[in-house]
Amino acid sequence: MTNNSTTPGQLLFANLNIDFSKISKDKRPFYIAIKYYLTVKDEPPPGASDLEKVSRYLESLYQACKAEDWGLIMPILSAPIKKSSDEPQLLYKYLESAALFSKLLETTKDIIKVFQSTDTDINFILILKGRALSGMGSLGESCKTFENICKQSCQNQKYYIEAKARLGICQVQAGIYDKGISNINTVIDVLKSDSLSTSESAFFILMTELLENIAFYEMARGNFDNAIIFYSQVLDTRIMKGFVDKIIGPLVHKGIIHRRVCIPPLHWLTFLNSKLKSYPIPVKLDIHETLRENYKLAAHYLKEAKLKAEEIQDETTIIWIAHHLAWVFLNQGNYAKAEEQCNISIQGYANFEDKRGISDCYEQLGFIHLAKGNEFIQKAEDYFTKSLNIRENTGSSHGIASCTLDLALVEWHKKQYLISIKNLIKSFNLYQKLKILNISRVARMLTLYYVWTIGNKTWTM
């Protein structure tokens, strides 16, 4: 059988070693279906979509679930899938890299439904389910999934470590910073004390992901110098270890930081000097030049990251970069380009059913319409409200606080000044609950409020 096999599906089927003579009549149709999908069904044509390339394997997994045959699940789930000219990826990794999170979630649910009441160890499948939920922006559900794994798999150190790490990462991304950072630090300590784990490729990548999320946390707190240090460390380490395909994220975040950094003091000094014309503060100010340089550097990092993402055909990252390029264009006053990039991003996120990405784009569209003038105030409010609704449904605490501040800006332009100030105060309270309301955050929030109410709308937080 193996010698005559000419396709990856046929090779996989041969390696499954299915003995039809030992299969009961009631289950035989499921195995016949598996054989059909892996050996008879045509190979996907050139130019096939990411989903078309793996549909036969997903169908085979579904039939394996109906047959209740755990022995087939992992071999099929680990089938090597080739994407363009890249090295083959295991099926479950391919689904993640192609952002087919909804398909990964559907598959894991099918497997869990069949095997959760048996003695089979399905912790790995549960972890994949949590990762799929996270990829779709359902951070609250993802956190619950990883919490349950941690409670149930203490005896399985490998799965416990990854579940604890993924829980910490999801919590940080959801704005549950204190618990998230605590869990991340716990896992880092475990990995550092276990030389075997840190020498394994998977755990090494996990370690850099943990450091990357500490950098994200520092960025959220406004500690940009610390964030740059962590992102640079992650970037250098991944390059040194040869994980070139994983350097794009830190590059994008460097671009994000340079879009946001160092502005509040300049804004307020410029504002004070405009009011104290007779006695100006004796400081040389050129906020516009500083902004131009920051945005130029931000665009440089983002475009460099985009080129690398295009080289490896990483569509999800290209969509993410479009979102952040839109912020740069918005701050530069180029609203048409900002909206164009935002629409590219939101369409991509919609295709991948990424709720978090969609909510981020709605917030961005709110700012774009707010920048266009008073005739677009209602549209801006509608987009901010859409973003808030999604974030409330997905449990994004940081996102809820951000949208509350956004709506304060809208109320100001509607001349509802008391409601505006009330929402501003509410946003302070929400950030305080997240334990990231430090001096830097307060300064940045007040600056955003000033810039987008009576200022020139050239900076975003």
Q: Do residues 373 and 413 lie in contact, with contact meaning Cβ atoms separated by under 8 Å? A: no
Q: What angle do CA 197, 199, 204 make, to 5 degrees?
A: 80
Ramachandran sector of residue 423 (left: φ over 0; alpha: ψ -120 to 50; beta: rest):
alpha
In a domain, 44, yes or no: yes
157 C-beta neighbours (distance < 10 Å), count:
12
Q: DSSP letter string over 365-394?
A: HHHHHHHH-GGGHHHHHHHHHHHHHHHHHH
User: Which single residue is written with the structure tokens 């004390």?
Assistant: 193
Last residue in a domain, options 64, 89, 120: 120
> Which three-class secondary structure state does DSSP give residue 450?
helix
Q: Do residues 10 and 36 lie in contact, with contact meaning Cβ atoms separated by under 8 Å? A: no
Domains contained in the chain, number: 2
Cα–Cα distance between 360 and 355 in angstroms, integer? 9
178 C-beta neighbours (distance < 10 Å), count:
13
Instruction: Please report, in tens digits, the pLDDT of each residue of the chain (461 residues total).
Output: 444 547 889 999 999 999 999 999 999 999 999 999 999 877 788 788 899 999 999 999 999 999 999 999 999 999 999 876 567 899 999 999 888 999 999 999 999 999 999 999 999 999 999 999 999 999 999 999 999 999 987 755 789 999 999 999 999 999 999 999 999 999 999 888 875 455 567 778 899 999 999 999 999 998 999 999 999 999 999 998 888 778 999 999 999 999 987 555 555 555 544 554 554 444 445 677 888 899 999 999 999 999 999 988 889 999 999 999 999 999 999 999 999 999 999 999 999 999 999 999 999 999 999 999 999 999 999 999 999 999 999 999 999 999 999 999 999 999 999 999 999 999 999 999 999 998 889 989 999 999 999 988 999 98
* Residue 283 confidence (pLDDT): 47
Cα–Cα distance between 48 and 51 in angstroms, integer? 8
Query: Does the model's pTM come out above 0.75?
Result: yes
Last residue in a domain, options 72, 89, 120: 120
Cα–Cα distance between 344 and 347 in angstroms, integer? 5
Largest separation between any pair of C-alpha atoms in the chain: 97
89-90 and 80-81 as β-strands: parallel, antiparallel, unpaired? antiparallel
> Which three-class secondary structure state does DSSP give residue 314?
coil
* Residue 2 confidence (pLDDT): 43
Q: DSSP letter string over 106-128?
A: HHHHHHHHHHTTSS---HHHHHH
| Of 90, 36, 75, residue with least CA distance to 59 | 36
Q: Cα separations (Å) of 174 from 166, 168, 213, 227, 232? A: 12, 10, 11, 18, 23
Q: Which domain holds residue 94?
A: 1-120
Query: Element (H or E) spanning 80, and its range?
Result: strand 80-81
Q: Which residues contact 292 (CB under 8 A, 6 or more apart)?
A: none
* Residue 32 tokens, joined: 């016949």
* Residue 339 tokens, joined: 């909206």
> Which three-class secondary structure state does DSSP give residue 167?
helix
In a domain, 350, yes or no: no
> Which three-class secondary structure state does DSSP give residue 81?
strand
Cα–Cα distance between 269 and 275 in angstroms, integer? 10
> Which three-class secondary structure state does DSSP give residue 357?
helix
In a domain, 227, yes or no: no
| Of 178, 224, 173, 179, residue with least CA distance to 440 | 224
Q: One-letter amino acid identity for 291?
A: L
* Residue 244 confidence (pLDDT): 77
End-to-end CA distance of the chain: 61
* Residue 246 confidence (pLDDT): 87
* Residue 281 confidence (pLDDT): 46
Q: Cα separations (Å) of 388 from 345, 364, 385, 418? A: 18, 12, 5, 21
Q: DSSP letter string over 248-311?
A: HHHHHHHHHHHHHTT-HHHHHHHHHHHH-SSS--S----HHHHHHHHHHHHHHHHHHHHHHHHH
| Of 455, 461, 460, 457, residue with least CA distance to 270 | 455
Last residue in a domain, options 120, 150, 182: 120
In a domain, 456, yes or no: yes
| Of 97, 104, 114, residue with least CA distance to 58 | 104
Q: Do residues 277 and 343 lie in contact, with contact meaning Cβ atoms separated by under 8 Å? A: no
In a domain, 355, yes or no: no
Half-sphere exposure of 391 (CA within 13 A, CB side): 24
182 C-beta neighbours (distance < 10 Å), count:
11
